Amino acid sequence: MVYDFDTEIDRMPTSSYKWSWMKQITGLEDLFPLWVADMDFACPPEVVQALKDRVAHPIYGYTGPTDGYHDGLIKWMEKRHDWKRIEKEWVTYTPGVVSGFSLAIQAYSQPGDKVVIQPPVYYPFRNQILANGRQVADNPLKIVDGKYEMDFEDLEAKIDARTKMIILCSPHNPIGRVWKKDELKKLVEICIEKDIIIISDEIHNDLILGDIKHTPTATISKKAMDRTVTLVAVSKTFNLAGMSTANCIIPNKKLRDEFQAAAAKSALHNNLIGIIAQDAAYNHGEPWLEEALEYMRGNLKYFEEFLAEKIPGLVVYPLEGTYLAWVDCTSLAMDDEKLNDFMLKKAKLWLDEGTLFGIEGSKFMRFNLACPRSILVRALNSLEKAVNNL
């Protein structure tokens, strides 16, 4: 490999939530932090150099997007995801994807309206719906033959006159599904019939580990494009979450105007460093990403084989997209509180407990596999030892 993913980099001096805040958040030290979704890999050197070059200039005043900011995004989406002819004016900046779907909730619904989510799912979906005074309409995913699927019959039953939107996680965090075209087509058909706006969180769109291709929801059809707000960012793809830079792609002018009106009320402004990072990442970061994906596929293979051989009671669900493994720990015969306590205090693993993502995540744990393999090896050895001591 050209790029180095094996070196363990000390993040403790960086005020990293994942590492530096360990004792403050958990009360414990010397844990393996496999929880929050950022990587323990060095960012692409092309991005690091671009940031160094800009920081070398001693003035950091008000700054607009570079030409490469939009051009890089548009070319990236066409090359990687076959979304052709995105227009520059469709793209609206937000400080993050969470900010984006929070603004969408404000723009396209009123207090008391309902917003559909598909648990177990990224917990800020629920939090932001409730924080904005809306109601959550749960459309839980169902497990069929060991794999999660959308429950379209339940979705249709959950939609009523107060239901205005669905927030789709695509690829889905935490369960790792990359939705197939026919699944997205069926979802879009229901949303058209019921006049539901689709907020498609596609922040993990580039992190495809399985033998499958990500399809942007908006590309399913012209009608899909007219009712879809797509949220993307370089944060997960290139390990740039601290840059506070994301993009909302909104082809429909009416929806775009409504979104921008909501954003104007919050007086959001772009981030100088984030602009440079996105420009460099989309325009020069693809070789790094290809090697990072290869490395993480190796981590996934090691993870699956280790558990199958050493702790076969723990069931790893198929991971198609994201670098987050979803593991059923029912065989440990613990309730959720005891399971989390066991992982922290006995196994020394700091994970995201499944119930964060909804009651449907009970007895599950989410493992972040985006780390040097040496960390993963030690973490799994620690887990095996703890399980053997039960």
Whether the full predicted model's pTM is greater than 0.75, yes or no, is yes
Does residue 17 form part of some domain? yes
The domain tally of the chain equals 2
Q: Which of these three, 249, 283, 317, is where a domain ends?
A: 283
Question: Are residues 253 and 378 located together in one domain of the fold?
Answer: no
Does residue 337 form part of some domain? yes
Does residue 156 form part of some domain? yes
What pLDDT, in 10s, does the model give residues 33-67?
999 999 999 999 999 999 999 999 999 999 999 99
CA-nearest of 249, 174, 177 to 219 is 249
Q: Is the Cβ–Cβ distance between 24 and 31 less than 8 Å?
A: no
pLDDT at position 168, please? 99
Amino acid code (one letter) for 345: K
The range of the structural domain enclosing residue 151 comes to 61-283
Question: Are residues 177 and 199 located together in one domain of the fold?
Answer: yes
Separation of alpha carbons 184 and 114, rounded Å: 21
Neighbouring residues of 52: CB distance < 8 A, sequence distance ≥ 6: none
Q: Which of these three, 222, 256, 283, is where a domain ends?
A: 283
Whether residue 171 is preceded by a cis peptide bond, meaning omega within 30 degrees of 0, is yes
Q: Give CA angle at 279 (273, 281), nearest 5°.
A: 100
- DSSP H helices in the chain: 22-26, 45-56, 67-81, 97-108, 124-131, 152-158, 181-194, 222-226, 235-238, 253-265, 272-284, 286-310, 336-345, 373-388
pLDDT at position 162, please? 98
pLDDT at position 346, please? 99
Question: Are residues 311 and 257 located together in one domain of the fold?
Answer: no
Question: Are residues 29 and 93 located together in one domain of the fold?
Answer: no
Quick one: CA dihedral 359, 385, 323, 26, positive or negative? positive
pLDDT at position 269, please? 86
> Backbone phi, then psi, for 138, in 5-degree steps?
-80, 125
Separation of alpha carbons 303 and 50, rounded Å: 34
Quick one: CA dihedral 209, 215, 218, 224, positive or negative? negative
CA-nearest of 375, 390, 377, 385 to 338 is 390
Q: Is the Cβ–Cβ distance between 108 and 162 less than 8 Å?
A: no
CA-nearest of 175, 158, 160, 217 to 315 is 175
Local confidence pLDDT in tens for the 390 residues of the chain: 999 999 999 999 999 999 999 999 999 999 999 999 999 999 999 999 999 999 999 999 999 999 999 999 999 999 999 999 999 999 999 999 999 999 999 999 999 999 999 999 999 999 999 999 999 999 999 999 999 999 999 999 999 999 999 999 999 999 999 999 999 999 999 999 999 999 999 999 999 998 999 999 999 999 999 999 999 999 999 999 999 999 999 999 999 999 999 999 999 888 999 999 999 999 999 999 999 999 999 999 999 999 999 999 999 999 999 999 999 999 999 999 999 999 999 999 999 999 999 999 999 999 999 999 999 999 999 999 999 999
For residue 20, give the CATH number of its domain.
3.90.1150.10
For residue 157, give the CATH number of its domain.
3.40.640.10
Separation of alpha carbons 299 and 341, rounded Å: 25
Where do we find the tokens 């904005």?
A: 132
What pLDDT, in 10s, does the model give residues 316-348?
999 999 999 999 999 999 999 999 999 999 999
Question: Are residues 371 and 227 located together in one domain of the fold?
Answer: no
Question: Are residues 84 and 215 located together in one domain of the fold?
Answer: yes
Say how many Å lie between the first and final Cα of the chain, rounded: 40
Does residue 251 form part of some domain? yes
Question: Are residues 307 and 383 located together in one domain of the fold?
Answer: yes
Report how far apart, in Å, the C-alpha atoms of 257 and of each of 73, 90, 218, 244, 262 are. 21, 10, 18, 22, 9
